[in-house]
Amino acid sequence: MLIEPRDNSDVYGIMTLKDIARKVIAHRRKLHEAHVYEIMSKPVLSVTSDMPIPFAARFLTNFSVSYAMVIENNEIAGMVSLNGMVDLWED
């Protein structure tokens, strides 16, 4: 889930199942008592919509993340994941 910045000085964040597992379940917290802003990861990496898949995959793995925002015409066009790249990859 992509989390919008709170204000102009903040950046986008992302909350993944990994964040929930590491920051809620591993600490035996109750999910309904956890605030998104305390468990999300930020900043979110971004790639351009015209970036070749091999470069995007290398970029994400270099930072040990699985997701990135896709930017097109200076706007968020969507999200991309390593799983999605693997599913779409054709040799």
Domain edges within the chain: 1-44, 45-91
How many CB atoms are closer than 10 A to CB 25?
Answer: 13
**Residue 91, pLDDT above cutoff 80:** no
Max Cα–Cα distance, the chain, nearest Å:
45
pLDDT band at 41 (very low <50, low <70, confident <90, very high): very high
**Residue 46, pLDDT above cutoff 80:** yes
Q: What percent of the chain has pLDDT over 90?
A: 92
DSSP secondary structure string for all residues of the chain: -EE--SSTT---EE--HHHHHHHTGGGT--GGGS-HHHH-B-SPPEEETTS-HHHHHHHHHHTT-SEEEEEETTEEEEEEEHHHHHHH---
Residue 89's pLDDT is 85
Q: pLDDT by residue (tens digit) across 50-89? A: 999 999 999 999 999 999 999 999 999 999 999 999 998 8
For the domain with range 45-91, which CATH number is right: 3.90.700.10, 1.10.730.10, 3.10.580.10, 3.90.550.10? 3.10.580.10
Over range 5-32, report the average pLDDT: 93
The Cα 53–Cα 24 span in angstroms is 32
